[in-house]
Structure 1
Amino acid sequence: MAEAVILGIAGNIVDYLVPKALEKVGKLWGVKHELEILKETVSTLHAVLEDAEEQYHRSRQIKVWLDKLKDAFYDAQDVLEEFNIEAVRRELSGHNEMMKEVRTFFSSSNQLAFKLKMSNKVRAVREKIEAIKADRKFHLDDRSVDSRVERQWRKREETHSFISEGDIKGRDDDKTAVIKFLLDSNMKENVSILPIVGIGGLGKTALAQFIYNDEMVSKHFHLKMWVCVSNDFDVKKIVTNIIACAKKKAPSEDAMEQLQSELRKEIDGKRYLLVLDDLWNEEPENWLSLKRLLVGGARGSKILITTRLPSIATITDAAQSHHLGGLSDSLSLDLLMQMAYRKEEEVQDPEMLDIAKEIVRKCSGVPLVVRTVGTLLSFKKTKLEWLTFKDYELPDVSQRADKITSVLRLSYDYLPSHLKQCFAFCSLFPKDYEIKKQTLVNLWVAEGFIRPSNRSQHLEDIAHGYFMDLLRSNFFQDFQEYKETCKMHDLMHDLACVVAGNECGVAFDDTKSINERARHLCVGDLPISHLKASPLRTYLSLMRRPISEVDLRQLIQSFKRLRVLDLHTTYVEKVPRSICKLKHLTYLDLSGTHKLKKTSGLHYETAEFANT
């Protein structure tokens, strides 16, 4: 994310923050001069940053230089935002009796003090940037901001229909086999287990989702539950999620003994279907400790497991497993051409078909790879472009995770920098998390990721366009139109974590180390006292737990540059007055708190804050 972030911040400084500040300074010529020099300095750097972005992971020297420059750009952004916030605050305070104060602010005496303060701050960050610029000891190509990738992206037609990731074309035999197992009541044990085994990207979860929602399956079982397990096989967490799925609400108790009792109450005597999605754990004892809690179901209960590990069948003592293979070449070809938005006459063109068939062979029947490659080909209109892509850009993809990731990384590399930044930010959400589109739109706007091409555009409308671009390009999946939610494929989530690097951090317990350079943080049960003061911009809490006024005051004191404070899953009774000191705060979410006491100095109508 660091390489995408620096282009995003540079664009934000040049195109938005400096022009906005220049509007506010009026006749403060000293500040105006410094702002114009800062804009020119960042603009000249912007021309070489795209080349630096491409070389970020190949050269440690360039990486270190860009990281220093990124920190300096962040400082410049903070100074410019501080100035704009202060100017707006003083303007807003003058609606009634405070008009006199505003006139005083813009009086000649106050102008002088303000000019000196702002000139010094802007000059300091400008000189820091210029020193880093002068320290560059390597060559970078001077490019136009309108890069090849940006031009190709803009050429893409906006009328393309979205092809659902839930499409499991060519899996009829797999559907039939798994459904037959689920509906079979002639089993020795009350609870029978079937692992669906296959490499990442084959569509195991999509197949399980289709079967889970099948009408016959739904009628057959008294109770259905779906839990994503992933890398963290925490029995207590899994049990909590099973109960929450069964009852449609979080369990009332937290102790393991009470959770066991509550789980037994929900499943005993009922024929249930439990899907454990993306199981990784290979420790038999861990599995047995969970299985003991699940044996109380009525005869015919089933547990469906999706996993990349063939050993799971042995560990879970499953009588059989279902191995998911790749798509046939003909089905892969159909999917590729569909994703590439080829017209009928192009699909029938023998030369184009021959090239497409060779590309499909490189995809090894992995649906996620076929969809991703098809999306990349939608940018390429001619046979020559397809041929060049096949011969020089697309790696051979064996059915190995690292090979699949290399294609997903290629897809990421083709994104414009503003979309790279937005995608990498999504690494903050846990795997299989249902992400609300509006939440993403609000967060991207609050973080300053949106780059308007003109001042008349609404930032939320642009952010909505960003979301749809990422959705159409398969970075998101399982989009539910009626809820406007989506998820990320676990391999895409892995990629987001890789490209985010140190920029984003996730800490769900106190053993997780947090890089001091992290600007965005998602926390679980981590005590606030374990967090060190830093220039953090995002604090996102996803754990349902109370937070005291003392802890909240400490959080505010530690992270004075926060733009986003999301506590919608926590129980906040009182917000301290010191929250008003977070001058950069643009997004505050307390929507999960229903007993919030009003705090002097903080004005609100409801407990729900977003884009405030």
Structure 2
Amino acid sequence: MADAILFGLAQKMIENLGSQTFQEIGSFWGVEGELEKLKDTVSTIQAVLQDAAEQQSHNHQVKHWLEKLNDAIYEADDLFSEFYTEATRRSLVSGNKVVKEVRTCFSCSNPLAFRYKMSRKIKAMRQKLNAIAEDKNKFNLKVDNVETNDMSRKRETHSYVQGEDVIGRDEDKQKVINLLFDSNVEENVSVIPIVGIGGLGKTTLAKYVYNDEEVQKYFELKMWACISDVFDLKIIIEKIIASSSDNALDQLQSQLRKKIDGKKYLLVLDDIWNDENWCELKSLLMGGSKGSKILITSRLRLVAEITGTVQPFSLEGLSQEKSWDLFGRVAFKKGQEANNPKLVKIGREIVNMCQGVPLAIKSIGNLLHLKKKESEWSFVKNKIEANVTQWGEILPILKLSYNHLPSHLKSCFTYCSLFPKDYEMDKETVIQLWIAQGLSNHQTKTNN
């Protein structure tokens, strides 16, 4: 997905080069012609970036071309930063406009030397990017109609879910609840793993159970913690007791024991990827009264077998009927399904290929929601057919949804990969970061 960041940088360069401020600065220093040529070169390259990104997985030459381009675009971005910073330092820029009258101090700093230096650097950068742009012709890359950001608008899980939004899991919910209420166990605290491949809805099922009215009455204390791939004992205990991260580990352990000792509690440990430190954590959790339960979700059966005190609950895909129900809710507007028998036929074929995986079904449903033409639906179906060959292979489906995002939205999406896994993002902060990086604008923020 680094191609999306590359696209975003190219878009930022084009916008800067086309701005009135850059044009006036370029005119003042006599480099406006070079800047305009550079803008045309970057625009030419940007137009084929999407096709190049799709080809790089099976074409090593294209991949190498993108790597060279990536280095050059970053160099160009640094050059423009130097250019603009120098203009600001010399008091050529006031707000977003070029000052018409040059201040006295400007004449003391040898502007001719700087003009020559920048002109030479910009020309060299243009020649470098021109050479890369010419290389693209070797690959027969398709030109994409580039969208502008004017169009646009953590996995730290939480415990809440709307029951009516959960489709096809009522039976699974009842089975898990029966395990929670089972008193015919030797241990005071028993561990129940839910295991299944990614995208099946393990977390959703755990939420569905966690928020059940009878479950709420049954347990004196309920807690939720998302674990993910870092099984750090201190962090996990902090999440469980919602305590300050400044507390030492021994203090946290003491707080946890006080919180649960003698109480019949339910604890959900969501998305466990390894069993490191499990024994130590488990020993801290054994102080609950009889009937306490720990519900674990994991993709890995080995983790489920090591942590569980009962047989893991294996979550399967949705039935054909429920899969179609979920897809229909997402892909069709109300009443649209009955009026589009051809789309229904293609949709059912797509749902079959999703193998009952809710995440894949919803992703493709969202992708098709605004597409009305049979040809568009057939194109998506053929893409899935070409990439999904066996059970559990939902990543190509999710990648297909990503590929169909507008390019400026790909940049925003990819930017989020810079955050650590399970990082809880604040929407307004992320939007401001997008704007600061030139990936979005103020209009995007106000519309979303």
SS at match of 2:351: helix
* TM-score under structure 1 length normalisation: 0.64
What is the total number of aligned residue pairs between the two structures?
Answer: 435
Instruction: Report what 1:269 is aligned to.
Output: 262
Instruction: Report what 1:249 is aligned to.
Output: 243
Map of 1:440-459 to 2, 5 A cutoff? Answer: 440-450=430-440, 459=441
- The one-character-per-residue Cα deviations of 1:474-506 (angstroms, maximum 9, x if unpaired) are xxxxxxxxxxxxxxxxxxxxxxxxxxxxxxxxx
Instruction: Report what 1:328 is aligned to.
Output: 319
Per-residue deviation at 1:191?
0.7
Q: 1:219–1:104: structure 2 CA closer, same or farther, 3 Å change rule?
A: farther
Alpha-carbon separation, structure 1, partners of 2:271 and 2:26: 58
Per-residue deviation at 1:183?
4.1
- The one-character-per-residue Cα deviations of 1:418-454 (angstroms, maximum 9, x if unpaired) are 222221221222333321111110111112223xxxx
Q: 1:346–1:258: structure 2 CA closer, same or farther, 3 Å change rule?
A: closer
Instruction: Report what 2:157 is aligned to.
Output: none
SS at match of 1:274: strand
Native 8 Å contact 1:364 1:397 kept in 2:
no
Alpha-carbon separation, structure 2, partners of 1:252 and 1:65: 47
Instruction: Report what 2:355 is aligned to.
Output: 364
Map of 1:525-536 to 2, 5 A cutoff? Answer: none
Per-residue deviation at 1:305?
0.5
Native 8 Å contact 2:231 2:275 kept in 1:
no
Alpha-carbon separation, structure 2, partners of 1:200 and 1:20: 49
Native 8 Å contact 2:221 2:264 kept in 1:
yes
Native 8 Å contact 1:13 1:39 kept in 2:
yes
Q: Among 377, 391, 412, which residue is 1:399 paired with?
A: 391
Alpha-carbon separation, structure 1, partners of 2:87 and 2:341: 64
Native 8 Å contact 2:305 2:312 kept in 1:
no
Alpha-carbon separation, structure 2, partners of 1:94 and 1:356: 56
- The one-character-per-residue Cα deviations of 1:41-95 (angstroms, maximum 9, x if unpaired) are 2233334333322222222222122211111111212222333344345549979
Instruction: Report what 1:430 is aligned to.
Output: 420
Native 8 Å contact 1:186 1:300 kept in 2:
no
Per-residue deviation at 1:135?
5.4
Alpha-carbon separation, structure 1, partners of 2:125 and 2:327: 49
SS at match of 2:316: coil
Instruction: Report what 2:429 is aligned to.
Output: 439
Instruction: Report what 1:104 is aligned to.
Output: 104
Instruction: Report what 1:146 is aligned to.
Output: 145
Gaps of 5+ in 1: 159-163, 451-458, 469-612
Native 8 Å contact 1:5 1:70 kept in 2:
no
Q: 1:348–1:48: structure 2 CA closer, same or farther, 3 Å change rule?
A: closer
Alpha-carbon separation, structure 2, partners of 1:201 and 1:100: 59
Q: 1:212–1:429: structure 2 CA closer, same or farther, 3 Å change rule?
A: farther
Map of 1:338-487 to 2, 5 A cutoff? Answer: 338-347=329-338, 349-394=340-385, 395-396=387-388, 398-400=390-392, 403-450=393-440, 459-463=441-445
Native 8 Å contact 2:320 2:352 kept in 1:
yes
Native 8 Å contact 1:6 1:70 kept in 2:
yes
Aligned partner letter, 1:62: V
SS at match of 2:145: coil
The answer to whether the aligner puts 1:169 opposite 2:167 as a matched pair is yes
- The structure showing larger relative contact order (alpha-carbon pairs under 8 Å, at least 6 residues apart) is 2
Q: Among 200, 213, 217, which residue is 2:215 paired with?
A: 217
Alpha-carbon separation, structure 2, partners of 1:24 and 1:197: 62
Instruction: Report what 2:41 is aligned to.
Output: 41
Per-residue deviation at 1:374?
0.9
Native 8 Å contact 1:363 1:398 kept in 2:
no
Alpha-carbon separation, structure 2, partners of 1:63 and 1:384: 30
Per-residue deviation at 1:195?
1.0
Alpha-carbon separation, structure 2, partners of 1:185 and 1:92: 78
Instruction: Report what 1:579 is aligned to.
Output: none
Instruction: Report what 2:224 is aligned to.
Output: 226
Per-residue deviation at 1:107?
5.2
Alpha-carbon separation, structure 2, partners of 1:129 and 1:396: 37
Alpha-carbon separation, structure 1, partners of 2:94 and 2:53: 45
The answer to whether the aligner puts 1:292 opposite 2:283 as a matched pair is yes
Instruction: Report what 2:237 is aligned to.
Output: 239
* TM-score under structure 2 length normalisation: 0.85
Native 8 Å contact 2:5 2:414 kept in 1:
no
Q: 1:110–1:173: structure 2 CA closer, same or farther, 3 Å change rule?
A: same
Map of 1:538-549 to 2, 5 A cutoff? Answer: none
Alpha-carbon separation, structure 1, partners of 2:283 and 2:85: 58
Alpha-carbon separation, structure 2, partners of 1:338 and 1:91: 58
The RMSD of aligned alpha carbons is 3.3
- The one-character-per-residue Cα deviations of 1:301-348 (angstroms, maximum 9, x if unpaired) are 110001123334431242243222211212211221221134514335
Alpha-carbon separation, structure 2, partners of 1:94 and 1:405: 49
The answer to whether the aligner puts 1:303 opposite 2:303 as a matched pair is no
Q: 1:210–1:104: structure 2 CA closer, same or farther, 3 Å change rule?
A: farther
Instruction: Report what 1:10 is aligned to.
Output: 10
SS at match of 2:138: coil
- The one-character-per-residue Cα deviations of 1:181-221 (angstroms, maximum 9, x if unpaired) are 33455543211111112221111101112322334433433
Instruction: Report what 1:126 is aligned to.
Output: 126
Gaps of 5+ in 2: 154-160
Aligned partner letter, 1:295: M
Q: 1:461–1:218: structure 2 CA closer, same or farther, 3 Å change rule?
A: farther
Map of 1:441-590 to 2, 5 A cutoff? Answer: 441-450=431-440, 459-463=441-445
Q: 1:211–1:330: structure 2 CA closer, same or farther, 3 Å change rule?
A: same
Per-residue deviation at 1:21?
4.4
Alpha-carbon separation, structure 1, partners of 2:189 and 2:281: 13
Instruction: Report what 1:556 is aligned to.
Output: none
Alpha-carbon separation, structure 2, partners of 1:418 and 1:59: 24
Per-residue deviation at 1:102?
5.8
Per-residue deviation at 1:121?
3.0
